[in-house]
């Protein structure tokens, strides 16, 4: 067994690490951008795949990774999504692609976690409220792990009914935001060119030119750079950073 994930602010990383360790103390968990990711998947029969839901869809980076790598034949995959509010069929979005690539879908698990969209006031909560969300998420993960150990995998987000909810609830209305990588990442004049954003971007979408960060057109909307920028100089959907959302600050 191995856990693989795309995580922007640490929510999905926490969920995958916790679930995998409850299932197998010796199993690895690694980020999707890890240079050894292909060989690690090839060497494991069971994959716990985690990612944040974006407008009832999986991030383009995750979908492309599945489509472009012929490594899924007969792999047993549990799709795990995290979301700030609504997921619909977030787990099903990758499950359907994985099936076409020959994977065996074990199930889906959709976990409510603190909002990760740093430049929008929507869904923002206090630290205490977010701690309660994480507490409930951990209980859900523990129950899922116990059920899996008893041979019962969760089936959230992978049914036809969930597909309809996700499709008409959000995905159709926001399709232009999630069908391709984004070129909307904005970096303002308060950038000091520290280079942190370019170092942590999973898509290598940010470069440093003349001591300033410059964004390309391959943003996968993970919000990692926005949540870590010391100058709050980066935005994507909104015009200003409302809160730098990071899992670690909710558990201190």
pLDDT in tens, 80-129: 999 998 888 999 999 999 999 999 999 999 999 999 999 999 888 999 99
Cα 141 from Cα 38, distance rounded (Å): 26
Nearest by Cα to 129 from 109, 142, 112:
112
Which residues, in sequence order, are CB contacts of 31 under 8 Å at separation 6+? 4, 5, 6, 7, 13, 37, 202
Above 90 in pLDDT, residue 178?
no
pLDDT band at residue 173, thresholds of 50, 70 and 90? confident
Residues of the chain with CATH 3.30.70.20: 181-251
- Mean per-residue pLDDT for 224-242? 95
Q: What is the pLDDT of residues 51-79, one digit of tens each?
A: 999 988 999 999 999 999 999 999 999 99
Domain 2-176 annotated CATH 1.10.1370.40: no
**Right CATH number for 181-251 from 3.30.420.40, 3.30.70.20, 3.40.50.2300, 3.40.50.150?**
3.30.70.20
Question: Structure tokens of 161?
Answer: 């009914």
Q: What is the pLDDT of residues 185-198, one digit of tens each?
A: 999 999 999 999 99
Which of 21-35, 37-51, 92-106, 176-190 comes out lowest in average pLDDT? Answer: 176-190
Q: What is the pLDDT of residues 148-160, one digit of tens each?
A: 999 999 999 999 9
Q: What is the pTM of this model?
A: 0.94
């Amino acid at each position: 067994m191995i856990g693989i994930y795309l995580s922007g602010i640490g929510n999905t990383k926490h969920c995958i690490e916790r679930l995998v360790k409850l299932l197998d103390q010796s199993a690895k968990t690694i980020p999707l951008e890890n240079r050894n990711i292909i060989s690690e998947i090839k060497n494991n029969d069971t994959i716990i795949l985690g990612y944040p839901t974006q407008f009832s869809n999986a991030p383009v980076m995750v979908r492309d990774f599945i489509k472009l790598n012929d490594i899924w034949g007969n792999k047993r995959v549990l799709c795990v999504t995290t979301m700030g509010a609504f997921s619909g069929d977030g787990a099903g979005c990758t499950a359907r692609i994985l099936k076409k690539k020959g994977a065996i879908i074990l199930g889906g698990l959709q976990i409510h976690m603190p909002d990760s969209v740093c430049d929008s006031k929507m869904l923002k909560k206090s630290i205490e409220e977010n701690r309660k969300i994480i507490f409930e998420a951990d209980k859900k993960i523990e129950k899922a792990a116990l059920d899996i150990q008893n041979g019962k995998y969760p089936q959230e987000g992978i049914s036809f009914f969930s597909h309809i909810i996700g499709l008409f609830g959000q995905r159709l209305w926001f399709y232009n935001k999630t069908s391709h990588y984004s070129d909307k990442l904005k970096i303002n004049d308060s950038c000091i060119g520290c280079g942190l954003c370019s170092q942590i971007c999973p898509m290598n979408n940010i470069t440093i030119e003349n001591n300033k960060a410059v964004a390309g057109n391959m943003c996968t909307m993970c919000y990692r750079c926005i949540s870590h920028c010391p100058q709050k100089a980066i935005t994507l959907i909104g015009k200003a950073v409302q809160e730098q959302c990071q899992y670690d600050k909710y558990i201190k």
